[in-house]
């Protein structure tokens, strides 16, 4: 599912953070690894592309950024 252990994101409960990560993982399975941590916030890394990490303020923003980068909206 995701690489980072789900922690409570700013303004979200731990449960909401876990749910958001689960949704992102389902939407982008096989294309991106997603996670949330205190250092980067919400992040995604395209599978097979080393060193490229997208960061965003929240899960919706992250989804939009991944969709924009991949050229397919989810």
* Domain residue spans of the chain: 14-70
**Token reading at 47:** 């599978």
11: left (phi over 0), alpha (psi -120 to 50) or beta: left
Cβ atoms of 35 and 21 closer than 8 Å: yes
Between CA 59 and CA 21 the distance in angstroms is 8
Between CA 33 and CA 28 the distance in angstroms is 8
pTM of the model: 0.81
* Other CB atoms within 10 Å distance of the CB of residue 37: 15
pLDDT in tens, 33-68: 999 999 999 999 999 999 899 999 999 999 999 999
């Amino acid at each position: 599912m995701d690489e980072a252990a789900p922690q409570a994101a700013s303004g979200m409960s731990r449960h909401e953070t876990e749910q958001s990560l689960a949704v992102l993982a389902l939407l982008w399975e096989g294309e991106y690894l997603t996670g949330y941590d205190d250092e980067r916030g919400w992040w995604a890394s395209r599978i097979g592309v080393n060193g490229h990490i997208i960061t965003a303020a929240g899960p919706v923003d992250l989804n939009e950024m991944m969709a924009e980068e991949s050229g397919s909206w989810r």
